[in-house]
Amino acid sequence: MVLTIWISLVDYLNSAPLGWSFLHGPLKGEYEVVLSSPARCAEQLAAGEADIGLIPSIEYQRIPELQIIPGIAVAAVNKVRSVLMVRPRNKREIRSLALDTSSRTSVALIRLLLEFRLGLKPVLVPHPPDLTAMLRACDAALLIGDAALKLSPEEYGILDLAEEWIAWQKCPFVFAFWACRPGLDQPVELARAFREAKAWGLGARESIVDHHCRSLGLPAPFLRDYLHFNIDYDLGAKHLEGLKKFYRLAFEAGLIPEIKPLRFLPLEIEVESPVR
């Protein structure tokens, strides 16, 4: 009997290249895919409702016994354009901040930036991601994902959180990665399948842009630039350096109880035959 593997996939444009193969490509039907918010992905993985999730990176330190699929992330090496602190242009003092309840990592990141980088201590108010209501309740708002992409920089004062992190720490910021519950069968084959899905999805970015420019009502060149230049899908040495800095600061700020070492699924190693 073959057991079905359940995947929780973030339902944002920035995650689409990592999930497109499971939804529309060669891996369609091989896994059960549930579309979720970042926070819900973490909840599903923690509760055992999913076997693999594209989880907020901070949640790796909160959910026990996870393993990371290597080489894949939703990250930024410059401004990200979809993780923003937003305020009205006429609002100078930030005494209260509405936090997007669909977010986990970005909530942690903005708390670190406020405390250690900006020297601000606003009252933090969890709020559903409705910018009008958020700014009616608070001086500023944290907004993430597709809703943030639709904002006009001319209408609001905007702080791009990834851009601010990189200026501060001089390394990429990792927002999310694939993580697995323990005990899944054939981990080497699983890691290979997800890396192949990433490669296929990156090759399908033009199809993803075509689909989302209709669903989001945003111009194709804007979305194309976003997927090619604002979102980085690697998890290399510099990304891991940034991730470890993030965890250290989060621990110092009391946002996580400990700093667990990063544990990865094993990768297939190709060994060349010796020349005779």
**Does the pLDDT of residue 273 top 50, yes or no?**
no
Residue 191: per-residue pLDDT: 96
User: Average of pLDDT values for 155-162?
Assistant: 96
pLDDT band of residue 1 (cuts 50, 70, 90) is very low
Number of Cβ within 10 Å of residue 237's Cβ equals 9
Clarify whether residues 107 and 127 are in a common domain: yes
Q: What is the pLDDT of residue 2?
A: 53
Please give the span between the terminal C-alpha atoms of the chain, in angstroms, as a whole number: 44
Average pLDDT over residues 173-200: 96
Q: Is residue 1 part of a domain?
A: no
Instruction: Based on the fold, state whether residues 122 and 65 are members of the same structural domain.
Output: no
- Look at residue 264 and tell me if it is in a domain: no
Binned at pLDDT 50, 70 and 90, residue 152 comes out as confident
Q: Are residues 97 and 152 in the same domain?
A: yes
Answer whether residue 50 is part of any domain: yes
Out of 169, 193, 228, pick the residue that ends a domain.
169
Condensed to tens digits (0 to 9), the pLDDT of residues 2-61 reads 579 999 999 999 999 999 999 999 999 999 999 999 999 999 999 999 999 999 999 999
**Domain housing 190:** 6-75+173-252
